[in-house]
Structure 1
Amino acid sequence: MNSRRNFLQKLGASAVALQLAAVSTWADDKNTVHQPYAGPVLRVAIMGLGSYGTRVGAAMQYCTKAKLVGLVSGSPQKIENWRGSYDIPAKNCYNYDNFDEIKNNPDIDAVYVITPNGLHHDHVIRAAKAGKHVICEKPMALNPKQGQEMVDFCQRAGVKLLVGYRMHFEPKTLEVIRMRKAGEFGKILFFQGLCGFKIGDPKQWRLNKQLSGGGSLMDIGIYAINGSRYMTGEEPLWVTAQETKTDPVKFKEGVDETIQFQFGFPSGATASCLSTYNQNNLDKFFLNGEKGWAEMQPSTNYGPIKGRTHKGELNQPVTTHQTVQMDEFSDIIFNGKQPPVAVDGNEAVKDLKIIEAIYSAVKTGKKLELSS
């Protein structure tokens, strides 16, 4: 709990002020005056109180349009600790056995699923069946088939399905996207995405094929996959990929240690990316065009994100990603706001199709065409 308190303290009062700015204006408008928010507040229950759930819960204390009001966990002790820290009423707390009863709770609007990847499909469908909007961490599912089932079920249930693509609201990232759309880089030629860290405990769920769906690609590699799409503004036409495994004991069959993968895009641009669980200091995006370039390093971690282009340093504000994301999700759910980059289930299915193709390319050694 001390680490959570320290994190809250580090966020500081400055984080509150930063969240008041509209994401769409950060990239190009530094002088807008914003009025205090007086609209509806998205009331959220977090499902899965692990390390990232803890980060989201702490960051939500600074939201203006969303509020943490409920908990779902298999650990009674975690629920007790969180209740004390966040003043959550007992009636808004559930375990995985009685979770379906949330349908009778009018005080919860949405459930944020932050459980291991292999549980997302079931948990999202249960939340939607209960009539709650759903936010799901990425990757949204283990494969495109599961992902599409989740999208279709939420649509039939009449609830929104959003995915935790926090970088889609990050100011420096949005500035690079704005510059690309404005033609400031000219024709895009190349993207590079390097994502990795040296993973620790070999018994954790991320190294369990059943729970994770794979290895580094399903965890950190998805940032390079998704980043290649929003940085170039295109969908890949083909993929090639190669796997390197130096520790088959730690990284068992079906759990990838390091994968290099390449894309080709309709414009002729290409991408070269790396995903690994065996190297630190890898968090970099590079975009090259005929007229200019952009480099971000760190590019996707919790911040501060840093970047520069051929025009100089990127100086957009530093934000708490999860705070901004949850406020933006509130606007999307209640006001139908269209985000600068999609964050819905359909966006996640696109990434899942690419992940599936990368794994297939590793196995076959072939260049695979991607269907639209």
Structure 2
Amino acid sequence: MNSRRDFLQKLAASVIAFPMLSTEAISCIENADKKNYDGPPLRVAIMGLGSYGTRVADAMRDCKRARLVGVVSGTPAKITNWQSKYNIPEKNCYSYETFDTIKDNPDIDVVYVTTPNGLHHDNVIRAAKAGKHVICEKPMALNAKEGQEMVDACKKANVKLLVGYRMHFEPKTLEIIRMRKDGELGKILFFQGLSGFTIGDPTQWRLNKALAGGGSLMDIGIYSINGARYMIGEEPVWVTAEETKTNPQKFKPGVDETIQFQLGFPSGAVASCLSTYSMNNLDRFFLNAEKGFAELQPATGYGPIKGRTSKGELTQPHITHQTVQMDEMAGIILDGKQPIVPVDGEEGVRDLKIIDAIYQACSTGKKIALK
């Protein structure tokens, strides 16, 4: 890992070399490295100590406004390992059986839920009832009904609910959104989102209907759904979709292998997207408009993101996504900061409504209207 001094030197060089960095991108960078921030940190407990929880924990080492202080896990050995690795005190460690007592711990502000999709609903509601703010990984729930119940529970408990949309803080992504908002691309006409990879171990939870809620669409396809919305800047009004399954032994009933789906928007713009667990080299967004285009490839991976527009290459520097995300979410929770692209529970429900409609379109073969 580079030292902070090396990081700042590279950042300075980037700003000098590329003076046209957008305001949004520069804001993200500044928030990721605030030299003089001396206010209270956002004190985070991670629930679910798997691979992604570990990625978030490692990224938080470089945060200026967020600090990992607690863990929740059903595996005692993982808790012991994390205590040593991240210097977590015993009083901030919980099992799923003891989790509800977190309500009596004033040293934890927020619980970050990184458990399998099928557990999100209950985990989030338990955290809210314990009086803790919640960050939940995407998809927020198995369907829109569950998602709305989570939103309602957090509102009732007067706690914030955020969703782990790390791309909403990514500088190259934000630059394209700025260009679209400022009219530099003109009327938006078309979006293409390709999201997929070849999944491995057939026994993993992502291929378990009860835990995953589906297949590729719930895991990787949600990036194209969400991307279509923030790239076009509208909410879709209709959906069509078709599922393809070539390996029914690996992809059991209810676990989708590949789905092609289309979204229609009020302005007349359309999106054509692919979600798959059976093809690699699929991480691309393309936005076509009357005055130009924008492309990201890779578009949603852990980085660095690469992109270009009709005006040239995007040159905003890469910072670990989860580091930026957690510092920005600290600002949202502690200061009431409003992000450029929403990351609240309502945003998560919007994606879930589209996912519900895509699955309905696959099963019926019909064009589904979105309310």
Q: Quote the Cα distance in structure 2 between the aligned partners of 1:35 and 1:89.
A: 27
Q: Quote the Cα distance in structure 1 between the aligned partners of 2:22 and 2:355.
A: 29
Q: Quote the Cα distance in structure 2 between the aligned partners of 1:337 and 1:349.
A: 21
Paired residues in the alignment total: 361
- 2:108 maps to 108
- 1:258 maps to 258
Q: Quote the Cα distance in structure 1 between the aligned partners of 2:128 and 2:137.
A: 15
- 1:13 maps to 4
1:25 Cα offset (Å) = 3.1
1:26 Cα offset (Å) = 4.3
- 1:231 maps to 231
Q: Quote the Cα distance in structure 1 between the aligned partners of 2:294 and 2:369.
A: 28
Q: Quote the Cα distance in structure 1 between the aligned partners of 2:325 and 2:63.
A: 9
Q: Alignment identity in percent?
A: 72
- 1:3 maps to none
Q: Quote the Cα distance in structure 1 between the aligned partners of 2:236 and 2:65.
A: 35
1:38 Cα offset (Å) = 1.6
1:317 Cα offset (Å) = 1.2
Q: Quote the Cα distance in structure 1 between the aligned partners of 2:11 and 2:141.
A: 30
Structure 1, unmatched stretches of 5+, are 1-8
1:12 Cα offset (Å) = 4.8
1:31 Cα offset (Å) = 11
Q: Quote the Cα distance in structure 2 between the aligned partners of 1:30 and 1:54.
A: 23
Could you tell me whether the CA contact under 8 Å between 2:228 and 2:271 is conserved in 1?
yes
Structure 2, unmatched stretches of 5+, are 13-20
- 2:269 maps to 269
- 2:42 maps to 42
CA deviation digits over 1:88-108, x for unaligned, max 9? 001100011110010011100
1:13 Cα offset (Å) = 3.2
Q: Secondary structure at the match of 1:285?
A: strand
Q: Secondary structure at the match of 2:44?
A: strand
- 2:182 maps to 182
Structure 2 residue identity aligned to 1:359: Y
Change (3 A) 1:81 1:364: same
Could you tell me whether the CA contact under 8 Å between 2:241 and 2:262 is conserved in 1?
yes
Q: Give the TM-score normalised by structure 1.
A: 0.94
- 1:338 maps to 338
Moved over 2 A (4+): 11-20, 23-35
Structure 2 counterparts to residues 198-213 of structure 1, below 5 A: 198-213=198-213
- 1:142 maps to 142
1:27 Cα offset (Å) = 3.1
1:16 Cα offset (Å) = 6.2
1:36 Cα offset (Å) = 1.4
- 1:93 maps to 93
- 1:281 maps to 281
- 2:81 maps to 81
1:169 Cα offset (Å) = 0.1
Q: Secondary structure at the match of 2:235?
A: coil
Q: Secondary structure at the match of 1:27?
A: helix
- 1:70 maps to 70
